[in-house]
Chain A
Amino acid sequence: MIRKELVAASAEPLILSLLSKGESYGYAIIQEVKARSGGKLQWTDGMLYPVLHRMERRGLLKSRWGESETGRKRKYYSIKKDGKTAMVKHHEQWSLIHSVLAGLQKEEYV
């Protein structure tokens, strides 16, 4: 099971990366993360929305109200320019951490 601190820390870069591929809404974002992680990364459903609102307040995302196929109201989120900049920074930082960990792991098995 993934530690909750890691789940929390990875939420923003994951949301930004998903939204960089196109507009989406909360429920779909949760399902996409679950599918891509093979069910290992399951966010608490309700907790995603405060994160999305915080990111919107910080100017990383923008939102609009739309309608689903069944006519239900749905709030769609898309990434803004500042969000793309933040996403690139996140990628750099996570890549750095990954490369250090991978290097250490390689040394362990050599």
Chain B
Amino acid sequence: MFNLEQSIAEWRQQMLAAGIQTPVPLEELESHLREEIERQVEMGVDAQQAFEMTVSRIGHGTQLKEEFSKAAGPFGFLGNDKFSRVNRILGALWLALYLHGFINVCLVVGSRPPLWSPGETTVFFLICLSMLALYGVGISGSVLLLTGAKWGRNIVRVLAAFSLLCGIVSLFKSISIREVTFSLFDLATVWFLFSKSFARPTASAK
């Protein structure tokens, strides 16, 4: 016996397998599929026939994927809409920065002077551990941002604000072009991350 929901679920799997992404555009296509099936059934068409006709009219997944890829343009790999693209660019940028910081701390840990007292060594390792944890959280947040998760945005926001604070403190200690540049970068990032125009992840479309 024909099961419409099961057939639609199988159709979704075929679309996903062909590379049609969710929620955009698969949710749109499914919404279209359901509305057309409803319309045909109201006109007296058998549900199975309505389903098969509508699936045929929507088109094959690989053909649609090709059309959507053309529509997405050269930067389509970043995402289907402006929001996911901005998230991914920001995520990649912050991932690079946090990875750089993480590697630097690892190198410092590896090159500590051997003649420190146990107390100095303990304090040194505690500081390094804290920084590694901080950069680790930053890396996780950036990866989440790359995948479009809301948590990623919040983690990167908090760490960018913390980074700005450290930058400002450093400026009081010594003003150099490097410190000023990093502080301005942190300031711009924090402003953008907390602004209303900051991209929302596509996950929030659900």
Contacts and interface: CB of A to CB of B under 8 A. Distances in A.
B195 to A, nearest CB: 19
Q: Which of B68, B71, B73, B80 has the most CB of A within 10 A?
A: B71
Nearest to A62: B82
B71 A46 contact: no
Contacts of A81: none
A73 B27 CA distance: 8
Contacts of A74: 31
A13 interface: no
A26 B26 CA distance: 13
Interface in B9-66: 23-25, 27-29, 31-32, 34-36, 54, 57-59, 63-64
B80 A53 contact: yes
Contacts of A49: 25, 28-29, 32, 64, 68
Interface string B67-82: 1101111000000110
Interface size class of A (residues with CB under 8 A): 20 to 34
Contact of B59 (A45, A68, A75): A45
B175 interface: no
B177 interface: no
A42 to B, nearest CB: 9
B29 A46 contact: yes
Contacts of B29: 46, 49
A4 interface: no
B72 A46 contact: no
B54 A45 contact: yes
A40 interface: no
23 contacts: A27-B31, A27-B35, A44-B57, A44-B59, A45-B32, A45-B57, A46-B58, A46-B64, A46-B67, A47-B67, A49-B28, A49-B32, A50-B25, A50-B67, A50-B70, A50-B71, A53-B71, A54-B73, A56-B81, A57-B72, A68-B31, A73-B27, A75-B31
Given A50-B25, A57-B73, 16 more contacts: A26-B28, A27-B36, A44-B57, A45-B54, A46-B64, A46-B67, A50-B64, A53-B24, A54-B70, A54-B73, A57-B71, A57-B72, A72-B31, A72-B34, A75-B27, A75-B31
